[in-house]
């Protein structure tokens, strides 16, 4: 299978891996995410690839709520950070544009099976405003001290971990 670049899916000198048969669906999903949403979604993928020294093939996915997004199958190695022990490493994740509220830029769902998830669980939502990047989780919310679309995801890793 070949890897092909999708216009607009590039962050600095890094770009995601997408199979040819998924190009049309992926281009539509990236358009739905919008420029800022795509930057933060791809920033998460870039973070995971660099942290885990892995390559993640992005695929289209539809959650049980019929929400279309970017599917990250087996991103687990990216959840391991120096000094932290992951409490939860999802078998897969899907990133969906603005699904729970117009103010949210991106929702992150964790799946229960890397090959054929039966259930997706919304774990986090992010949005960006004049104050900065906000992360919503469970019953809480926090303003993140980040400056780039790749910085924010380390706070998700921190929330899903404990000190080693």
- Give tens-digit pLDDT for 21-80: 888 888 888 787 777 888 888 888 888 888 888 888 888 888 878 888 888 888 888 888
* Domains identified in the chain, total number: 1
Residue 7 in any domain: the answer is: no
* Whether 21 contacts 58, CB under 8 Å: no
Domain coverage including residue 75: 17-163
The answer to whether residue 10 scores a pLDDT higher than 80 is: no
Residue 2 in any domain: the answer is: no
CA dihedral 133, 28, 31, 72 (to 10 degrees): 20
Instruction: For residue 71, list its beta bridge partners.
Output: 59, 94
The answer to whether residue 3 scores a pLDDT higher than 50 is: no
In 9-63, beta strands by DSSP E:
17-18, 57-62
Dihedral (CA of 92, 44, 154, 132) sign? negative
Residue 72 in any domain: the answer is: yes
Residue 5, pLDDT score: 43
Average pLDDT estimate for 93-110? 78
Residue 15, pLDDT score: 75
In the chain, % of residues over pLDDT 90: 7
Residue 11 in any domain: the answer is: no
In the structure, what pLDDT confidence band is assigned to residue 101 with cuts at 50, 70 and 90?
low
Residue 9 in any domain: the answer is: no
Residue 4, pLDDT score: 37
Rounded Cα distance, 57 and 17, in Å: 5
Residue 6, pLDDT score: 43
């Amino acid at each position: 299978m070949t890897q092909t670049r999708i216009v607009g899916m590039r962050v600095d000198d890094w770009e995601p891996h997408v199979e040819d048969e998924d190009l049309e669906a992926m281009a539509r999903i990236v358009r739905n995410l919008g420029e800022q949403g795509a930057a933060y979604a791809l920033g998460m993928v870039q973070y995971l690839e660099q942290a885990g020294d892995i390559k993640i093939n992005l695929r289209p996915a539809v959650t049980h709520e019929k929400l279309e997004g970017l599917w990250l199958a087996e991103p687990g190695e990216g959840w391991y950070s120096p000094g932290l022990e992951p409490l939860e490493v999802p078998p897969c994740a899907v990133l969906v544009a603005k699904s729970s509220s117009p103010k949210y830029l991106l929702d992150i769902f964790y799946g229960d099976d890397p090959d054929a998830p039966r259930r997706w669980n919304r774990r986090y939502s992010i949005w960006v405003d004049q104050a900065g990047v906000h992360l919503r989780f469970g019953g809480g919310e926090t303003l993140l001290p980040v400056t780039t679309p790749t910085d924010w995801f380390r706070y998700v890793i921190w929330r899903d971990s404990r000190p080693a």
